[in-house]
């Protein structure tokens, strides 16, 4: 390994090597099911159905300000104040509806606390101050946007009896993909959310009619085996050969909230990549627009007429001829990290499409290390971490021996 000849000041700036994610405690907390070893009987059912026993270590936790990467956005907002809603407009909460319909903005502190699920329904305790209030007035104290609130009212999915509010948030749905069994590494799951660690070689969803054996088909099989009548709703995508967390919404409410978070750039994706060459700077930002390569249907390229694309990076470790970097996406363009790193003269190892060589790994060395999002009802900040896949670890081990 090179670097022994670098001065002390340069070494001091470099972040440490990526830590191997630690396994969770396997507890159930407020309906949350955490992946990993251990846990109670309810969790054992999910672990057995998903075939997670040998899938590697993974963890999910509430973020409380510690252990965050040293990117600039990891500040006060990223720490996730309890009870902070993610619904509605920029002022917090659903946008005001002057007609007085459900979903009018209310102070975040007045939102109903997350209730208890009973079958297709979730039950909430209404404060005594709202007892006897009309249903539309009570619904203003939820993060439901007017469109979803009206839809529930029309479908008779709202029942208010005294201080007990019931919402049919989990109506049974027909799974929209046929099931294809695959060992699935579930990093996180609760009533609203599923996060799956995608392996290399699988597309998130079909790219052509009739295609099978994608991650969507595997998630459909998981829902079927765990008796969940849920549609497949992926919130974002990663490339076929890239590994790491993929976020799914398990009902219409969560889907709306997560789509909104994506548009507002509140869902963060942290990646690890092995780039060719030794980056001269310890940190940097690549701000180059990306567009379609008109000479190659599957390639993207930096183009003045392309869409804005911003990638932040920091060096984790330098090797002889390679650099391990941690990256955060501010935008989510197709092949963004691969195009940006190639554009600055450091294509990813193994990425033949963008000029990388396959001396240490046979695919692009890109892994989703961490996914950060907010609970759709409570706004609680959550993080799922995915372990490095074996081929990526083997590439690093090979470089460490040089």
> What are 7-43's pLDDT values in tens digits?
333 333 344 444 443 333 333 333 344 433 333 333 3
Q: Is the pLDDT of residue 215 over 70?
A: yes
Q: 389, 386, 51: which is closest to 245 by C-alpha?
A: 386
Cα first-last separation, the chain: 5
Active-site annotation, residues: 239
Q: What angle do CA 256, 259, 262 make, to 5 degrees?
A: 150
- DSSP-assigned states of every residue in 119-186: TTEEEEEPPGGGTT--HHHHHTTSS--HHHHHHHHHTT-EEEETTEEEE-TT-----SS-------EE
Q: Buried (b) or exposed (e) across 81-118, using 16+ Cβ within 10 A?
A: eeebbbbbeeebbbebbeeeebbbbbebeebbebbeee
Tell me what pLDDT residue 129 has. Answer: 85
Q: What is the mean predicted confidence (pLDDT) over 289-313?
A: 92
pLDDT tens by residue, 382-392: 999 999 999 99
Does position 190 have pLDDT exceeding 80, yes or no? yes
Banded model confidence at residue 235, pLDDT cuts 50, 70, 90 = very high
Looking at residue 344, what is its pLDDT? 97
pLDDT at 75 over 60: no
Is residue 111 very low, low, confident or very high in pLDDT (cuts 50, 70, 90)?
confident
Residue with token string 């692009």: 364
- How far is 393 from 270, CA to CA, in rounded Å? 17
Q: Is residue 60 scored above 50 in pLDDT?
A: no
Q: State the Rg of the chain over Cα.
A: 23
> Do the Cβ atoms of 315 and 282 come closer than 8 Å?
yes
Average pLDDT of the chain to the nearest whole number:
79
Q: Where are the beta strands (DSSP E) in 21-67?
A: 28-29, 32-34, 59-62
Kindly state the average pLDDT of the residues 374-379: 95
Q: What is the pLDDT of residue 128?
A: 86
Q: Which of 88-102, 113-127, 315-329 comes out lowest in average pLDDT?
A: 88-102
**Hey, where are the domains in the chain?**
89-171, 185-400
Percentage of the chain modeled with pLDDT above 90: 67
Q: Which CATH architecture has domain 185-400?
A: 2-Layer Sandwich (3.30)
Percent above pLDDT 70 for the chain: 73
- Give the confidence band of 110 by pLDDT, cuts at 50, 70, 90: low
* Range 317-323 average pLDDT: 97
User: How do strand 244-249 and strand 193-198 relate by DSSP bridges?
Assistant: antiparallel
pLDDT of residue 109: 53
CA 212 – CA 13 distance, rounded (Å): 46
Q: What is the pTM of this model?
A: 0.76
């Amino acid at each position: 390994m090179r670097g022994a000849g670098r001065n002390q000041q340069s070494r001091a700036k470099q972040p440490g090597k990526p830590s191997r994610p630690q396994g969770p405690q396997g507890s159930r907390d407020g309906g949350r099911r955490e992946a990993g070893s251990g846990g109670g009987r309810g969790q054992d059912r999910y672990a057995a159905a998903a075939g997670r026993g040998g899938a590697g270590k993974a963890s999910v936790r509430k973020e409380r300000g510690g252990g965050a990467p040293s990117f600039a956005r990891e500040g006060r907002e990223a720490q996730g104040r309890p009870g902070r809603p993610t619904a509605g407009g920029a002022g917090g909460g659903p946008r005001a509806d002057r007609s007085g319909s459900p979903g009018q903005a209310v102070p975040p502190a007045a939102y109903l606390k997350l209730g208890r699920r009973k079958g297709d329904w979730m039950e909430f305790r209404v404060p005594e101050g709202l007892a006897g209030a009309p249903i539309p007035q009570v619904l203003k104290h939820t993060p439901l946007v007017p469109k979803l609130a009206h839809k529930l009212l029309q479908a008779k999915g709202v029942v208010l009896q005294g201080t007990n509010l019931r919402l049919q948030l989990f109506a049974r749905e027909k799974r929209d993909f046929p099931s294809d069994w695959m060992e699935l590494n579930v990093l996180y799951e609760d009533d609203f959310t599923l996060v799956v660690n995608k392996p290399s070689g699988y597309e998130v969803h079909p790219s052509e009619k009739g295609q099978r054996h994608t991650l969507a088909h595997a998630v459909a099989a998981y829902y079927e085996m765990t008796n969940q009548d849920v549609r497949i709703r992926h919130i974002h995508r990663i490339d076929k050969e890239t590994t790491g967390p993929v976020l799914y919404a398990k009902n219409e409410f969560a889907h709306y909230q997560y789509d909104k978070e994506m548009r507002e750039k509140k869902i963060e994706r942290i990646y690890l990549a092995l780039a060719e060459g030794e980056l001269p700077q310890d940190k940097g930002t690549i701000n180059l627009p990306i567009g379609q390569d008109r000479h190659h249907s599957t390639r993207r390229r930096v183009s003045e007429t392309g869409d804005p694309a911003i990638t932040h990076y920091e060096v984790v470790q330098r090797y002889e001829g390679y650099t391990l970097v941690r990256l955060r996406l501010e935008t989510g363009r197709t092949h963004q990290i691969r195009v940006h790193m190639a554009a600055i003269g450091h294509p990813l190892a193994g990425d033949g499409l963008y000029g990388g060589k396959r001396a240490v790994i046979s695919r692009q060395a890109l892994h989703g290390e961490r996914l950060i999002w907010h609970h759709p009802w409570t706004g609680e900040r959550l993080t799922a971490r995915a372990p490095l896949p074996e081929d990526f670890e083997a590439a690093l081990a090979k470089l460490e021996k040089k």
